[in-house]
Structure 1
Amino acid sequence: MKRIPFLPDSYTFLLVGTVVLASYLPASGMFAVGLKYITVAAIALLFFLHGAKLPRQAIIDGVTHWRLHALILSCTFLFFPVMGFVLRPLLQPMINHELYLGVLYLCMLPATVQSAVALTSIAGGNVPASVCSASFSTLLGILITPFLVNGLITSTMGSASTFDSIAQIFMQLMLPFLAGHLLRPYFDTLFKRTGKLLSFVDRGAILLVIYSAFSAAVVGGLWQKISWEMIAGLLVISFILLILSMIYVYGLAIWFGFNREDRITALFGGAQKSLATGVPMSQVLFSAATAGVIVLPLMLFHLLQLIISSMIAQKLKRQ
């Protein structure tokens, strides 16, 4: 039976299943302590793989097609955060304060790589430019997002000092990322031979981090603080952010005179957020009890962006 193109894929259902598992069987006691160390190792492995998969040519090409990439990055790191703050009077009444901080965190994340490239390919966009833009966004996100979060979110939560946060980010995120990128020539052949296996490792690590984050949040009373009305509010907020960002980036792409292929690349590169980067990064930037609440808006946005973007990609393909 052929899968309907705009339905979520199996990995999305696994994400939901992981949240359900953590809700009914959360990690606690010694198991939670052991899981914390395993999660730290999983995050280091994730960012090592991110660095190893970043083509050196993507950084070089990012300079040559700078107008397109500048437009996409402006949506990712400028328009989204501005929306999060400007729309606060509209957004916050739908949810509580912790979830609103999660929405702000979502707005500060880099773009996704896999789905942005896949959707660009389906819609007939500029795939090489999409690969370059998404990869460059990931690299910048590791550098920019922690500073945005530390300055605009964690400072209001009484978290660690800026110096301590930067040191922790460098050790757990940036150092593995740089090591992976520098060792890329030695792993290139291995990646080509074991691409599918590495994909399972990559996604499995994310599921593990999500289980750990939501377990700590559930033990801390997550579902006593969040109602179904707030979940519905998060879906509405995700829809507003997604549609406004698509209008912004696609409208400017037309105004700047980009061709159809580049407009498609801008649409799917600028209006998406990375779950693969956001979930592990939350473990470093926030406390264990807070991280589960913080990533909930990101997970719902991820689900919605897949459904709506897939529908748009199929429509563009038919055109």
Structure 2
Amino acid sequence: MLARFKLDGFLTALLLVVLAAILWPEGGVTGGPLRVEWVASYGISIVFFLYGLTLAPERMRQGLAKWRVHIVVQLGTFALFPLVMLACGPLLRPLLPPDAWLGFFYLAALPSTVSSSVAMTSLARGNVPVAIFNATLSAFLGIFVTPILMAWFMETTGVSMPLESVIVKILLLVLLPTVLGQIAHRWLAEWTVRNAGWLKFCDRAVILAIVYNSTSDSIVGGIWSANDPWLVVTMTVISIALFFVIYELMRVPCKLLGFNREDTIACLFCGSKKSLATGVPLGHVIFGATPALGLILAPLMIFHFFQLVIVSVIANRYAQGAEAEAGASA
């Protein structure tokens, strides 16, 4: 099933980690025997250092010229998503506990995913340099834009957020490691390519540790037991519906601006997806070690899974269409 949809084993690992938290939350809880929170706390800097280390500036330059596509993608990621979520607020708030509703807006405020957006754009025969540029730019902008959006949203909903301390954490744990990684890229570019597999493993291991820790804290703290068991189903339906709403709305500017097939694919795939790799460690910085973090991150984890499944199907259809067109013109 995963191979058919071009999905890697990270999704399986993510599901297993959540299952482990359900079966043995004491192991991953803060202060528990495994001390997972140490990895969750200090590993954040490792994730963003590796992000800076693997960021190739020359790839960014390849897609720079398509400025109209870039504007559409970034507005879709950081403006359309939050606006749609706010517009749906009157309908969704009665269905969700406050922390889950906060999680959905956090999902909407996050940057686009990098690796899967590029991979799916390539599979669909889209404009890969444009996808690389936009996914990378989105991830970098998210370091600043996401906390600002969350500070505004939480203030409007009456939830306090210590913005100054969050900014300090982001500068020290997120921005500084990213900059150091980008500086190190000058000397370690070839080493990074040779060891891409291990670097990816380290990056994802930290993300899984944060998920295990936050989910365990939520279970031990009684966050999940205090809510209806159908909450997961509700969040799943909302996540799938949200993806299709954004995906279809992104088609509108693509048609109005006359984007070609390749640019449209890159725009749709980058503008409709959200990054778990950025969202999980950044969420730990923004929200801290609250027991509700597991519930706040739940919409992101659900959306991440289904966005990959849905976009994989769409990308395969685009690829089949491109092959058919190539065969007809041959």
TM-score (normalised: structure 1): 0.94
Matched, 1:305 2:304: no
Supply the AA of the counterpart residue of 1:98: D
Specify whether residues 160 and 108 from structure 1 end up closer, same or farther in structure 2 by C-alpha distance, changes over 3 A only.
closer
CA deviation map 1:143-192 (0-9, x unaligned): 11111112212674644422112111111111111111122112211111
Change (3 A) 1:123 1:62: closer
1:83 match: secondary structure: helix
Alignment: residue pair count: 318
Check conservation: 1:154, 1:286, Cα contact below 8 A: no
Identity of aligned residues (%): 34
Q: Are the aligned partners of 2:103 and 2:297 in contact in 1 as well (CA < 8 Å)?
A: yes
CA distance in 2, matches of 1:275, 1:29: 21
Q: Name the aligned partner's letter for residue 270 of structure 2.
A: G
Q: Secondary structure at the match of 1:226?
A: coil
1:66 aligns with 2:57: no
Provide the residue aligned with 1:317 in structure 2: 319
CA contact (8 A) 2:223 2:292 kept: no
The residue that corresponds to 1:19 in the other structure is 18
Q: Distance in 2 between matches of 1:68 and 1:84?
A: 23
In the alignment, which residue of structure 2 is the partner of 1:218?
A: 219
Aligned CA distance change for structure 1 residues 65 and 286 (closer, same or farther; 3 Å) = same
Structure 2: stretches of 5+ with no match in the other structure: 322-330
The gaps in structure 1 that reach 5 residues or longer are none
Q: Which has the higher helix share?
A: 1
Q: Which secondary structure does the structure 1 equivalent of 2:224 belong to?
A: helix
Deviation at 1:4, TM superposition (A): 5.4
What does residue 269 of structure 1 align with?
270
Sort the Cα spacing of 1:171 and 1:155 in 2 relative to 1 into closer, same or farther, 3 A: farther
- Structure-1 separation of matches of 2:233 and 2:128: 34
What's the offset of the Cα at 1:13?
A: 1.5
Q: Quote the offset at 1:6 in angstroms.
A: 3.1
Where 2:225 maps in the other structure, the secondary structure is helix
Query: Does 2:211 correspond to 1:233?
Result: no
Give CA deviations for 1:201-226 in whole Å, capped at 9, x if unaligned. 11111111111111111111122133
Task: Provide the C-alpha distance between the structure 2 equivalents of 1:23 and 1:104, rounded to a whole number of angstroms.
Answer: 25
1:44 aligned partner: 45
Cα contact 1:62–1:136 (8 A) shared by 2: no
TM-score by length of structure 2 reads: 0.91
Residue in 2 that maps onto 1:103: 104
Q: Show CA shifts across 1:34-77 (max 9, x none).
A: 43232222111001111112222345456422111111111100
